[in-house]
Amino acid sequence: MNTNTSNTPSPLPDSCAEVSYIRVRHETLYRYPGLASLAYNKAWLAPLVRLEQQVLEHRVRIDPKPRFQHVQTDSFGNRVHYFEVHKPHQQLKVTSEAVVGRCPKPLNDACQFPWEQITYHSLQARQKMELCSFAYPSPMAPYHEEAKDYAQSCFSPARPVAESLLDFAGRIYRDFSYESGATQVDTTLGEFLDIRKGVCQDFAHLAVSGLRSLGLVAAYVSGYVMTYPPEGEEKRQGADASHAWVALYVPDYGWLHVDPTNNMWVSDEHVIVAIGRDYSDVPPLKGVCYGAGQQQPEVAVTLERISREELSYGH
Amino acid sequence: MPDTTPLTVPSQTGLDLNDVPYSPLATAYDEMMDAQGKVRPHWQAFAKYFTGVSRNDLDNLNKDSQRRLKEQGVNYNVYNDPEGMRRPWLLDPLPMVFSEEDWAPLEEGLQQRARLFSALLRDIMGNQTCLKKGLLPPEIVFQHPGYLRSMVGGVPSPLTLYAADLARGPDGTWWVLSDRTQGPSGAGYVLEARMVTKRVLGQGAVDYSIAPLAQYFYHLKRHVAALAPDNQSDPTIVLLSSGIGNEVYFEHAYLVAQLGITLVEGDDLTVRQGKVYLKTVDDLKQVDVIIRRVDDVYSDPLNFRGDSMLGVPGLAQAQALGRVGMANPLGSGMLESPAILPFLPGLSRHFLSEELKLPEVATWWCGQEKERKHVISKIDSLVIKRVDRATGVVYGNKLTKAQKTDLINRIKAEPWLYVGQQLLSFSTVPTLADSALHPRHLVLRTFAAGDGEQYDVMPGGLTRVSPDANSFVVSSQMGGLSKDTWLIKGGGSMRDVLRLNPAKQRRTASAILTSRAAENLFWLARYMERGESLLRLIRAYLRQLENYFDYGDDTDAQVLINLKPLIELYCKVEGKQQRLPRLDVLQGFILDSRHTGSVAYNLRAAIRTAYTLRDLWSGDCWRAIEELEELLDYTEKNQKGVALDQFIQPFLTGLLAFWGASQESLALDQGGLWLQLGKRLERSQNTVNSVLRLCHVFSEENEAGLRHVLLESNDCLNSHRRRFGTDLTYYTTWQHLLLEPTNPRSLVSTVSAMEPLLGYLNPNPHRGLMPLEKRVLSGLTPLRLADASEWHNTELTKTELAEFLNEQMATFSQFGLDIEHQYFKHAQPITRFMR
């Protein structure tokens, strides 16, 4: 089953000197212990179309073939794939394949303002209305005293936005260790602050919570990032994972993305998929099925940089 | 004010009710008496009714109304209440009375409000112009925990059902306290209150013409039916209930019966291709409209709260795609937020270009700085509410210092979640308490149904009064009472009623039996039959025991010992194995509902199941079920010191009453079939099983006694005597108990009674028998062909009969599984995942 969910490709801005093209393959496989008779799912897998991100191609393949599917746009502007599988099945495989063109979004003067000038309360009424969801605590990024102290220490009075934000990301990067499997999808922020290790999702939630507690407007972003194998080793298929980071809203700039897990600005090596208040708004895949029994999915993500030629001669 | 009552009552000062004085409070508006102590004109007929009434009469009134409610089986479930499902709803038999002059502006105001909320809902779920124009602060919408983001942008739906709680202040003005937009409850209780009140007060009091309620329900159904996609002319409508655990489950069951629609729970529905289907015993039937009584966030485990067991995955998509009508739409719960109240006048000007007709009680939303400061500084004189809780109201003046500090801190941490509301001194209405009339504060819940543009308001509504004069809390959960509400019509109004009455109310599709209901009926019957069968067995055992005590005959002892495994077929005997079960153990087999398999265990299971089918039972049938439950309660409490066999007969009689009433009132296609089928299958299995258990233990000493007990425990002893005299041999026993077609309790009669029931289920009889019919026939034919003389002695019984019965047993077990598989396949465990 192929479904192309991409919009018409958007032109990249003139300012973008060099476009890097990335091919993404994201496969999620559920092997159920029992037979599932019916399954209902929602997937946030389609990359977002942005000035700095062109979506050349996107398709979602679902096996077994869904009896019904429907693509909708959620209230944050993400594309959501709803599908129903009616026939009994032992496993469910969802494969998302995309080709995007990425270019960095250079910082502008607005990113150099003192951070106090860009809080939610300093926004105009119309912007407030559009960004209200991102200004307050949310289910998985609740208010937390420690997160606030953390953010406060980087956002010292009148410090420029970009500098403060990168410092904040760096601090999280240094103080917490990345350990796959240390946390689950439902691990709370408090638990993460206690054990001080986790995955990108936890890093992002901490950053989101900290920024919002200062009155800033912050979003959780789900996506992918290119990874490089250690020197001399071949890159393995599926070795990458789905990724998440944080974005701070800067008026006259837009969303300023930073990746605390990797301590870097989000650039042309990241693919943006969906924006929400936290993970619970934009999980790559969620579902309900009957009779199957609980099972952890097998997830494989592969990102590869491709040349312009490969693009035109593509499959 | 013109006299609107047909009675002419001489003007009187004060109310002289002989022994029944009534004195209103000085601080509140009284509905019946004005400030000068005069009875208001529209209350005069009511007041006249009480002239000459004594305290004793009042007492009787109260008792009478509670008795009638009990007979109707009206309950209000209180969570965590030890009385559980059977806590009676408290009704005051004295009505609240409205004049047309008082009512007309309320009706108009409510219609306007319903239109406004409908427009607001469409806007919030659509373009959100009210936010863009700054008429409503965005936090009120986006930070409401019940805001359903995923419903924005779907096919717009109107707010079909609307309710509001109103109270009258000291100056006589009606104020809106809160709005109910999600699944307003109470309308069913109004019907019940009207019925009971009219009957209790008798014709004398209801001389006036009271605006009838029937029309409102007609309009309600009309508006709901109009939501069907594709203008379906004869839509399938269901009421989605959260089930027996819901506090107003009685009302759900009552309403579906009134409206002629189907009561369902989440498990009964399934979404396919974005359409909603009902799981019936035959197949999936498409549902056109859902009257939703499950809260927004519990309605769909895929889209909202994943831990909800009450919802239907994909329901949100079905509504958003416009493939099912929803009353009220998902997302409407948010409109109940009291934070919206202060902004309503502006919203009314924007959406309706009208000034708001009904004022709401002064409300300050803490999301605004000035308002927050006001609330915190005036907290002692305010009511504090969370924006997302209909209940859980906090009275500032009732808080301790520590509680107050705690609340203020919570408000400061998340101010957008709180409002403060002015405390209003509600009006009072005469209410029966301690055999006298007392003023009690009232809140009126009003109801409207419409299409978004035009609304029909129920004349009157549900009046609820506080349990004492100092309280303004009227919640039924807190012990408040309800009252009927009478809108007194002037002359000529009855003609309007007749004219408006629907000329041709087409016979719409009747309620549909869900697969779950069928399964529950099937199992209810099996539980009942199993309990009954064990009761009869224990009774036969006790009679045998009596013989043994009287004559000390060893063969009787032998019989008793051999009966033990038979009883254990139902009930596992725990602990040290006794040669004979002690009497107190036997008593436990009957009355200990914690003992798996006991009579009480089975009957409790049956009664619990009966509650989930509340909408199916006729009044008499429900009474029979309740009487069984009362009997269980009573005997459990008073089991000490009563002879064991005295328990048994009342239970058997109660069960017979249930079977009689159900057979008389429950049509086959409305569920009776499943009840009959469950009972017959269970009885067949019990008979076969009990004979099979005994086949191997027959010996010269016990055979006569065991045969006697077998016949007795199957209620065949008397008919056997009439047919065969005192001759009680193997032949006569097996012939009569198993093979005799003229004995209605014989195995062959029980099994053959299932044949026509199954024939009824066969959708295509002309194409031959269904597999299920064949299965029954494969058990029935050998029974019909068998010859009891082939089992005429102990040896043959042990070999031939045992083998024959083993085959019968296998057939019936398989038959039970076939039924489960073919008709009850709806319930499956659900798994959620997220990655």
Question: Beta A177-178 vs A197-198: how paired, if at all?
Answer: parallel
**pLDDT of res. A201:** 93
Residues A25 and A118 in one domain: no
The percent of residues above 90 in pLDDT, for chain B, comes to: 52
Q: Do A297 and B270 touch (CB under 8 A)?
A: no
Nearest C-alpha in B relative to A66:
B273
Q: Do the domain assignments include residue A125?
A: yes
Nearest C-alpha in A relative to B125:
A75
The predicted model gives B755-769 an average pLDDT of 88
Residues B473 and B553 in one domain: no
**pLDDT of res. B19:** 57
Q: Do the domain assignments include residue A171?
A: yes
Residues B494 and B550 in one domain: no
For residue A243, give the nearest of A230, A262, A225, A231 by alpha carbon: A225
B467-499 core/surface letters (b: 16 or more CB in 10 A; e: else): beeeebbbebeeebbbbbbbbbbeeebeeeeee
Residues A120 and A98 in one domain: no
B302 touches chain A (CB under 8 A): yes
Helix extents (H) in B297-364: 315-320, 344-352
Using a CB-CB distance cutoff of 8 angstroms, which residues of chain A are in contact with residue B828? 37, 290-291
**pLDDT of res. A8:** 45
B40-54, B472-486, B491-505: least confidently modelled range: B491-505
Residues A58 and A126 in one domain: no
Kindly report, residue by residue over B354-380, the tens digit of the pLDDT. 999 999 999 999 999 999 999 999 999
> What is the count of structural domains for chain B?
2
* In the predicted structure, residue B802 carries a pLDDT above the cut 90: yes
Distance from CA of A19 to the nearest CA of B (A): 30
Residues A224 and A148 in one domain: yes
How far is residue B337's CA from residue B63's CA, in Å, rounded to a whole number? 39
| SS3 of residue B363 by DSSP | strand
Q: Do the domain assignments include residue A98?
A: yes
How many other C-beta atoms are found inside a 10 Å radius of the C-beta of residue B273?
17
**pLDDT of res. B600:** 92
Q: End of a domain among B446, B470, B500?
A: B500
Q: Do the domain assignments include residue B391?
A: no
Q: Do the domain assignments include residue A150?
A: yes
**pLDDT of res. B6:** 35
Kindly report, residue by residue over B491-527, the tens digit of the pLDDT. 544 433 433 334 344 444 566 888 889 999 999 999 9
Q: Do the domain assignments include residue A274?
A: no
Residues B251 and B329 in one domain: yes
Identify the burial level of B171 via C-beta atoms within 10 angstroms of its C-beta, where 0-12 means exposed, 13-18 middle and 19 or more buried.
exposed
Residues A151 and A211 in one domain: yes
The predicted model gives B613-625 an average pLDDT of 89
Q: Do B153 and A73 touch (CB under 8 A)?
A: yes
Looking at the DSSP bridge assignments, the partners of residue A93 are A29, A63
Residues A287 and A254 in one domain: no
How far is residue A155's CA from residue A169's CA, in Å, rounded to a whole number? 11
As separate numbers, helices (DSSP H) first and strands (DSSP E) second, chain A gives 6, 16
Q: Do the domain assignments include residue B31?
A: no
Kindly report, residue by residue over B315-332, the tens digit of the pLDDT. 999 999 999 999 999 999
Q: Do the domain assignments include residue B32?
A: no
* Structural domain range at position A33: 2-103+283-312
B825 touches chain A (CB under 8 A): no
Using a CB-CB distance cutoff of 8 angstroms, which residues of chain A are in contact with residue B139? 132, 136
Using a CB-CB distance cutoff of 8 angstroms, which residues of chain B are in contact with residue A285? 833-835
Q: End of a domain among B470, B500, B530?
A: B500
Residues B179 and B315 in one domain: yes
**pLDDT of res. B429:** 94
Q: Do the domain assignments include residue A276?
A: no
List all residues of chain B from 113 to 132 with a beta carbon under 8 Å from chain A: 128, 131-132
Residues A62 and A99 in one domain: yes
CATH assignment at residue A289: 2.60.40.2250
* Structural domain range at position B241: 63-361+424-500
| Residues 6+ positions from B88 with CB-CB distance below 8 Å | B66, B69, B70, B74, B75, B76
Q: Do the domain assignments include residue A271?
A: no
Choose between B584 and B756: higher pLDDT.
Answer: B756
Residue A129 is nearest to which of B132, B143, B835, comparing CB atoms?
A: B132
Residues A256 and A113 in one domain: yes
For residue A84, give the nearest of A68, A60, A63, A64 by alpha carbon: A68
Residues B533 and B496 in one domain: no
Distance from CA of A125 to the nearest CA of B (A): 7
* In the predicted structure, residue B454 carries a pLDDT above the cut 90: yes
**pLDDT of res. B205:** 56
Q: End of a domain among B500, B524, B556?
A: B500
**pLDDT of res. B504:** 41
Residues B472 and B558 in one domain: no
**pLDDT of res. A227:** 84
The predicted model gives B474-487 an average pLDDT of 79
Residue B835 is nearest to which of A74, A128, A299, comparing CB atoms?
A: A299
B341 touches chain A (CB under 8 A): no
CATH assignment at residue A170: 3.10.620.30
Distance from CA of B547 to the nearest CA of A (A): 55
* In the predicted structure, residue B133 carries a pLDDT above the cut 90: yes
Residues B565 and B459 in one domain: no
Kindly report, residue by residue over B663-697, the tens digit of the pLDDT. 989 888 889 999 999 999 999 999 999 999 888 88
Kindly report, residue by residue over B518-565, the tens digit of the pLDDT. 999 999 999 999 999 999 999 998 888 888 888 878 888 888 888 888
The predicted model gives B471-477 an average pLDDT of 69
> What is the count of structural domains for chain A?
2
Residues A73 and A200 in one domain: no
**pLDDT of res. B181:** 95
Q: Do the domain assignments include residue B323?
A: yes
Residues A114 and A234 in one domain: yes
Kindly report, residue by residue over B101-129, the tens digit of the pLDDT. 999 999 999 999 999 999 999 999 999 99
Q: Do the domain assignments include residue B671?
A: yes
Choose between B719 and B67: higher pLDDT.
Answer: B719
Q: Do the domain assignments include residue A277?
A: no
Distance from CA of A291 to the nearest CA of B (A): 5
Residues B477 and B578 in one domain: no
B79 touches chain A (CB under 8 A): no
Q: Do A40 and B831 touch (CB under 8 A)?
A: no
List all residues of chain B from 395 to 414 with a beta carbon under 8 Å from chain A: 413-414
Distance from CA of B80 to the nearest CA of A (A): 28
Q: Do the domain assignments include residue B7?
A: no
**pLDDT of res. A286:** 92
Q: Do the domain assignments include residue B209?
A: yes
Residues B698 and B814 in one domain: yes
* Secondary structure in 3-state letters for B54-69: CHHHHHHHHHHHHHHH
Residues B579 and B494 in one domain: no
- pTM comes to 0.85
The predicted model gives B130-149 an average pLDDT of 94
Mean model confidence pLDDT for chain B: 86
| Side-chain half-sphere exposure of A99, counting CA atoms within 13 A | 15
How far is residue B314's CA from residue B316's CA, in Å, rounded to a whole number? 5
* In the predicted structure, residue B197 carries a pLDDT above the cut 60: yes
B353 touches chain A (CB under 8 A): no
pLDDT band at residue B12 using 50, 70 and 90 as cut-offs: very low
**pLDDT of res. A244:** 95
pLDDT band at residue B436 using 50, 70 and 90 as cut-offs: confident
pLDDT band at residue B634 using 50, 70 and 90 as cut-offs: confident
Residue B138 is nearest to which of A38, A40, A132, comparing CB atoms?
A: A132
Terminal-residue alpha carbon distance, chain B: 69
* In the predicted structure, residue B208 carries a pLDDT above the cut 70: no
Mean pLDDT by 10 residues, chain A (315 residues): 47 68 94 87 96 93 94 94 92 95 91 95 93 95 94 96 96 92 88 93 96 97 88 70 94 95 92 96 92 81 87 58
Residues A160 and A181 in one domain: yes
Residues B118 and B81 in one domain: yes
Identify the burial level of B72 via C-beta atoms within 10 angstroms of its C-beta, where 0-12 means exposed, 13-18 middle and 19 or more buried.
middle
Distance from CA of B129 to the nearest CA of A (A): 11
Residues B222 and B136 in one domain: yes
Residues A94 and A134 in one domain: no
